[in-house]
């Protein structure tokens, strides 16, 4: 397909022709980490932030050595250039590599480093303004959600359950009803005029879009509090939030109009959400040399 180009262990080639040995630990044990990076106007967005997080994930799983010989700051823009992707994403994955199947680490490891590009259309203004719905599910993931691990079965099951319920995204709920994050997104809410989101700890992933949403909100003068809230506080009988949105790499900020059976903000995207999203879209356009997008409203 157009735009699908692979970088695998130092070599560029067609994605469809790439192969990984059966005993790669990423395939058999989920022993790896990954990143997804947005591409606009043929350029990766917030590349250094993503690579910083990749290095943190690799350090957490004791695999920092994997990037030796891979200058990803240069490799990934070159991958995009060769692929001719204008709008889309980069998928980047690093595993502990090939070794006879065993739970303990191979010494030394022979890491697998791969990345590929894919063209993808981002949400239109009409799709954004239609909003998204969230389906609450019990959080049954492992206790190191801060590591962007390839172990995603719990998220797969949660997002499939959300789809079966007619929702766009799962919403992970922890002990005592605490809202943690989405199946592949972070979650924000506007409560009593204050923007709230779960604090960074091992129970959520430190999203790159989350990071920039907080930065943009502060520059725009909004009060930000990184403090958790419960599902009851979000959509409870005593008022709930006035706005809610998710933050993710390929969808930026998505206004939430319903959580479970409860309508949020009258079923329409709220002014804070749209203000932040328009500022983020304008900032991204500036980074890649594009004209600012049209206003959403």
Residue 246: burial class (beta carbons within 10 Å; 0-12, 13-18, 19+): buried
- Catalytic residue annotation: 148
Is residue 38 one of the residues assigned to a domain? yes
Residues 62, 195, single domain; the answer is: no
Q: pTM here?
A: 0.96
Q: How many domains does the chain fold into?
A: 2
Is residue 295 one of the residues assigned to a domain? no
Between 271-287 and 208-219, two packed helices, what is the crossing angle to 10 degrees? 110
The pLDDT of residue 46 = 98
pLDDT tens over the chain, length 297 residues = 568 999 999 999 999 999 999 999 999 999 999 999 999 999 999 999 999 999 999 999 999 999 999 999 999 999 999 999 999 999 999 999 999 999 999 999 999 999 999 999 999 999 999 999 999 999 999 999 999 999 999 999 999 999 999 999 999 999 999 999 999 999 999 999 999 999 999 999 999 999 999 999 999 999 999 999 999 999 988 778 999 999 999 999 999 999 999 999 999 999 999 999 999 999 999 999 999 999 997
Among the candidates 85, 119, 153, a domain finishes at 119
Among the candidates 119, 135, 152, a domain finishes at 119
Residues 115, 233, single domain; the answer is: no
Is residue 294 one of the residues assigned to a domain? no
Residues 273, 236, single domain; the answer is: yes
Residues 112, 189, single domain; the answer is: no
Look at the block and give the residue holding tokens 């990184």. Answer: 226
State the first-to-last Cα distance of the chain, in angstroms, to the nearest integer.
35
Query: In 3D, which of 95, 91, 50 has the Cα closest to residue 73?
Result: 50
d(CA 7, CA 152): 23
For 23, the domain range is: 5-119
The torsion of the CA quartet 215, 218, 223, 228, rounded to 10 degrees, works out to: 10
At residue 41, the 3 state secondary structure works out as: coil
CB 116 within 8 A of CB 78: no
CATH code for the domain of 108:
3.30.470.10
Strands 32-40 and 5-8: unpaired
The pLDDT of residue 232 = 96
The pLDDT of residue 23 = 98
CATH code for the domain of 172:
3.20.10.10
Supply the DSSP symbol for 5.
Answer: E
Two tokens, residue 105: 């680490």
Residues 282, 172, single domain; the answer is: yes
The pLDDT of residue 212 = 98
Among the candidates 119, 145, 166, a domain finishes at 119
């Amino acid at each position: 397909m157009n735009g699908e180009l692979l970088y695998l262990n130092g070599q560029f080639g067609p994605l469809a022709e790439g192969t990984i040995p059966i005993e790669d630990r990423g395939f058999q044990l989920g022993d790896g980490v990954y990143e997804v990076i947005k591409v606009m106007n043929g350029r990766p967005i917030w590349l250094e932030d993503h690579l910083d997080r990749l290095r943190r994930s690799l350090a957490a799983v004791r695999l920092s050595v994997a990037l030796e010989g891979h200058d990803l700051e240069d490799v990934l823009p070159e991958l995009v250039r060769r692929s001719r992707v204008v709008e889309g994403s980069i998928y980047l994955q690093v595993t502990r590599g090939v070794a006879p199947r065993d739970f303990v680490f191979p010494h030394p490891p022979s890491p697998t480093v791969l990345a590929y590009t894919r063209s993808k259309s981002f949400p239109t203004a009409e799709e954004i303004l239609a909003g998204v719905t969230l389906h609450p599910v019990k959080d049954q993931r492992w206790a190191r959600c801060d590591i962007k691990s390839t172990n995603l079965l719990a998220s797969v099951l949660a997002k499939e359950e959300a789809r079966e319920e007619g929702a766009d995204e799962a919403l992970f709920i922890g002990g005592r009803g605490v809202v943690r994050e989405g199946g592949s997104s972070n979650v924000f809410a506007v409560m009593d005029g204050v923007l709230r989101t779960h604090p960074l700890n091992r129970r959520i992933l430190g999203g790159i879009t989350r990071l920039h949403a907080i930065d943009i909100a502060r520059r725009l003068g909004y009060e930000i509090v990184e403090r958790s809230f419960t599902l009851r506080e979000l959509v409870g009988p005593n008022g709930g939030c006035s706005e809610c949105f998710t933050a993710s790499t390929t969808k930026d900020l998505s206004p939430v109009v319903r959580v479970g059976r409860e309508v949020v903000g009258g079923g329409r995207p709220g002014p804070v959400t749209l203000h932040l999203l328009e500022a983020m879209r304008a900032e991204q356009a500036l980074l890649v040399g594009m004209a600012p997008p049209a206003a959403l409203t």
